[in-house]
Chain A
Amino acid sequence: MHGSFLSHRGGFWFWFALVLVLASVVAYVWHEPIGLPNGGTWLGYTLGTIAALLIVWLTLFGVRKRAYYSRIGSVKGWLSAHVYLGGSLLVVGTLHSGFQFGLNIHTLAWLLMVLVIVSGFYGGWVYWRYPNRITRNRDGMTRDLIFREIADIDRKASLIVEGLGSPADRMVISAIQLFQVGGGVWQQLGGRDRSRMMISEVRKKQKSWKRVSNSHQQRLLDELTGLLSRSTDPKEAALLQELIDLVSRKARLVKQLLKDIRLQGLMEIWLYCHIPLTLALLATLTAHIVSVFFYW
């Protein structure tokens, strides 16, 4: 049965979370503590206990989704509850603080909680929007296939330049060798094409080769077009034309590949914040609870 985790069981967890949020807000407004609102009033302790239990339970989602044989609800149900109850935690946890903030681990725990929830919201959003965008961009292909398509173009181009000689051969082969995609986190998410190629340069009547950017194969296309315009041999021109054709296709594929890496990266990167921050929150939450009662 296909359906979004957001509307699991008719949005049961949405309504559950909404009731929890509204109940907390109403209690907070209705409650007139002696002194200022604070985590130490009866309502403060109540909201704090609910929030702490929620945090522990939300963390257990990481365990449940790996427990493939577990029969405690479906993973989709858990995810639905995880998202909505996680959102409600933002309200419950903040009301527990009574809006008393300072430079201490108590506020650090609150801040980490907010960051985890915000990163989770981002995760929910990308899981909702990005699969579609990724599929549209791939246009029926897979990343592996795009790579093989590019490799195929490279092979064809390599064979063609054998009949062309310098400088076309050096430029085409260097563009293949200095092709660059992916890399570290920023390179994957940035989506910038850092491919390079070699071009010949005449300086002080000395011919030398230097590396230049070949973003989206544009420089190679420019160079090949230049060669084509100066070409007088029809056979050579036909080969160059074929080459330009291939490189244009490659440029389109590279663009598609870069976007695929970027979208995939953006869809996954939030987990790189969500999970470490969650464990940081667990440690800080422990310290928060222990310290509050340690120095009662």
Chain B
Amino acid sequence: MYVLIRRLGAGSGQNRSYKDEELAVDQLSIGRGTDQELLLPGDRVAYQHAEISLSAGQFRIRALASTGITVNGRSCKMAVLNTGDQILIGDYRLIVIAAPDGVDLALSLEVLEQQEAPSIDPAKFVTRLDALTLWRPRRWAWALFLVLLVAALLLPALVTLKPEFQNVLRNTPLPDDSLWLSGELHSVHSTIGKDCQACHTKPFEKVSNDTCVACHEETALHVPAGHPDAGLFDGERCASCHHEHNGEQRMVFEDQRFCADCHASLDQRMGSEPQVGKATDFHADHPAFRLSMLQWQDDSREWLQSPRLTVDESLHDNSNLKFDHAGHLDVEGIKNNDGDWEVLSCDSCHEMALDGINMAPVKMEQHCARCHGLAFDPVDPNRVVPHGKPDQVLANLREYYSSRFIQDRADAGDIRALRPGQRDNLSQLQREGVAWVEKKSQAVAEDMFERRACVSCHEVDRVSEQPPQWFVKPVRLNENWFVSGEFPHVRHTQTECADCHAANESMETADVLMPDIAVCQECHVGQQQKQGLLSGCISCHNYHQFELDHADLPEVMP
């Protein structure tokens, strides 16, 4: 079809200038796109805004842009065009005019002038975030940066660097160095409170051992002072093992690797001969138990605690006591002083000490005397000698028989009234009594010490004659079997004594009743294992220990 476009220029009415342009097109495309047949360059016009097509003798305009078109004042998507119709597209007005000959459709085109009338003013509205100057990200970014730098770094640092600020900041809601606290103190250190400088004495320096030792001065070393390899511990920090600021956790490392670090290769690390074997895991890599034994020295009459000794057939317990565990634990029972049969169990004699670690000492009066009476005269079966030193026993016997002598004579009517000058008579009687009492006492004592009472449990030596004297070797039960380990009985009460100590098979005092490591390993496994009772080194061992000092043993019991 042929389309005439009449572009109206300046002027009005008949005088208005115009310029005609003819187009031969299939359909007339209108828009601001350069490929459009009718180019309307205004920016309110879409690239393809509308198109006019001829069909069935009618011209139709169809809107392609979402803003649509206005035909005769009505916005629409589609309209049939007749002469005189006005089409508004953006700021352009097209009017269908009468088509001259040779042309199918004629359109006049003019640009509308904006009329003054109330309308919205786009400049009045804030429709972009970056127009909100108060909210500019950079402004807030720097503000936050400065606030946090001051609150989280400078003020806390002032607390340390300027002591005069310390109380001001710590006692007010102002930020102080508690912001830096990476975790709570262990409750044992809770008395330190906010005083970080108690341990952190110098900025940018690790907490030194001196600050720990200032309070913990009694803490024992891992090796005795003067040990040839004590130098290996130079530079070790308390804090390597004791990590603070983890609340109640990890104040003491339980990880066996901490010990295994050195104990895997002591022989290479140490200049001197290591006293302990290689150990890295209780189950997989731990030497057999060695025991420290009590050794009685006949010459010096004192006890020695031996160093660790290998457990084998030749190792004998030595307590100076004659005791047959199996006999005492006879299931039929044993006969007591009253002639009754009594069945004993371990706890008849062994009771746990208050510390829960070892057994309390066995006491003659409490545990033995019920069966092992110390009666000495059939005439007076309730009369006993004290369980004491031989001298005391003899003195007791003398006292008893003195009274017996006097009583016997009084009953026989031999006691004569004393008259002045008759001392000889008394001396005679006294001499008689002294001789009898001494003879009787010595006889009974000899019987008790050497044949009947004491000797059944004790090692008794007759050390002199006229008058006879005896030495009863002191009894002492070993309590320090393990030089560097500790076995708390209180934590093993759910097992039977016999599970670890084969007492009911032991006929000899010399039997060593300490269990083998395999017995412990039935329950305790090293931390290498995935399941079981995971037990690290410090389950039994204590890092802070001197080697046992043999001169420093507790006093020998009677």
Please report A residues at the B interface, Cβ cutoff 8 Å.
Answer: 34-36, 100, 102, 104-106, 108, 139-141, 143-145, 147-156, 158-159, 173, 176-177, 179-185, 188, 241-242, 245-246, 249, 253, 257, 261, 264-265, 268-269, 271-272, 274-280, 282-284, 286-287, 290-296
Contacts and interface: CB of A to CB of B under 8 A. Distances in A.
A272 B132 CA distance: 11
Contacts of A296: 200, 204-207
B403 interface: no
A217 B182 CA distance: 59
Nearest to B258: A34
A34 B257 contact: yes
B117 A185 contact: no
A158 B253 contact: no
Given A182-B127, A294-B157, A144 B183 contact: no
Nearest to B46: A140
A180 to B, nearest CB: 8
Contact of B127 (A106, A181, A284, A291): A181
B129 A35 contact: no
B43 A145 contact: yes
Interface residues of B, number: 67
Nearest to A272: B137
Contacts of B114: 155
Given A179-B120, A291-B177, A294-B203, 13 more contacts: A36-B246, A36-B249, A147-B122, A151-B122, A154-B120, A176-B120, A184-B132, A245-B75, A264-B127, A283-B146, A291-B152, A291-B179, A294-B180
Contacts of A269: 129
6 contacts: A176-B119, A264-B127, A294-B157, A295-B177, A296-B200, A296-B206
B118 interface: yes
B115 A159 contact: yes
A157 B200 CA distance: 79
Contacts of A264: 127-129
A104 B142 CA distance: 22
A104 B180 contact: yes
Interface in B187-209: 196, 200, 203-207
Contacts of A106: 182
Nearest to A154: B119
Given A35-B255, A276-B140, A140 B183 contact: no
B157 to A, nearest CB: 7
A36 B118 CA distance: 73
B195 to A, nearest CB: 12
Interface string B473-513: 00000000000000000000000000000000000000000
Contacts of B183: 100, 102
Contact of B179 (A35, A105, A145, A242): A105
A34 B253 contact: yes
Chain A residues touching B, majority SS: helix
B304 to A, nearest CB: 39
A148 B145 CA distance: 42
B149 A287 contact: yes
Nearest to B175: A105
B243 A35 contact: yes
Contacts of A36: 246, 249-250
B138 A291 contact: no
A158 B115 CA distance: 10
A113 to B, nearest CB: 13
In order of increasing CB-CB distance, the 10 nearest A-B pairs are A154-B119, A182-B127, A147-B122, A287-B152, A283-B148, A158-B117, A287-B153, A279-B141, A275-B137, A291-B180
Contacts of A140: 46-47, 65-66
Contacts of B203: 294-295
B554 interface: no
Contacts of B68: 249
Contacts of B442: none
A182 B120 CA distance: 13
Nearest to A280: B144
Interface in B234-266: 243, 246, 249-250, 253, 255, 257-258
A106 to B, nearest CB: 6
A290 B154 CA distance: 10
B126 interface: yes
Contact of B66 (A100, A139, A278): A139
B550 interface: no
B135 interface: yes
Contacts of A102: 181-184
B373 interface: no
B469 interface: no
Contacts of A185: 129, 132, 135
B460 to A, nearest CB: 57
Contact of B149 (A141, A249, A286): A286
Contact of A291 (B75, B130, B142, B156): B156
A241 B47 CA distance: 29
Contacts of B122: 144, 147-148, 151
A149 B67 contact: yes
B73 interface: yes
Contacts of A284: 148, 152
A180 B127 CA distance: 11
A287 B67 contact: no
B383 interface: no
A185 B136 CA distance: 11
A150 B118 CA distance: 12
Contacts of B160: 294
Contacts of A156: 117
Contacts of A158: 117-119
B125 interface: yes
Interface hub of B122, B196, B204, B206 (most chain A Cβ within 10 A): B122
Contacts of A177: 118
Contacts of A241: 74
B44 interface: yes
A286 B117 contact: no
Nearest to B239: A296
A221 B538 CA distance: 86
Nearest to A34: B255
Interface hub of B141, B147, B204 (most chain A Cβ within 10 A): B141
Nearest to A239: B73
A261 B149 contact: no
Contacts of B204: 293-294, 296
Given A284-B152, A290-B153, A295 B246 contact: no
A193 to B, nearest CB: 12
B118 A173 contact: yes
Interface hub of A152, A154, A177, A295 (most chain B Cβ within 10 A): A295
B414 to A, nearest CB: 89
A281 B223 CA distance: 48
A253 B147 CA distance: 44
Contact of B130 (A153, A242, A268): A268
A84 B203 CA distance: 37
A246 B76 CA distance: 11
B129 A188 contact: yes
Nearest to B156: A291
Contact of A104 (B44, B119, B120, B182): B182
Contact of A276 (B118, B130, B137, B250): B137
A110 to B, nearest CB: 12
B254 to A, nearest CB: 9
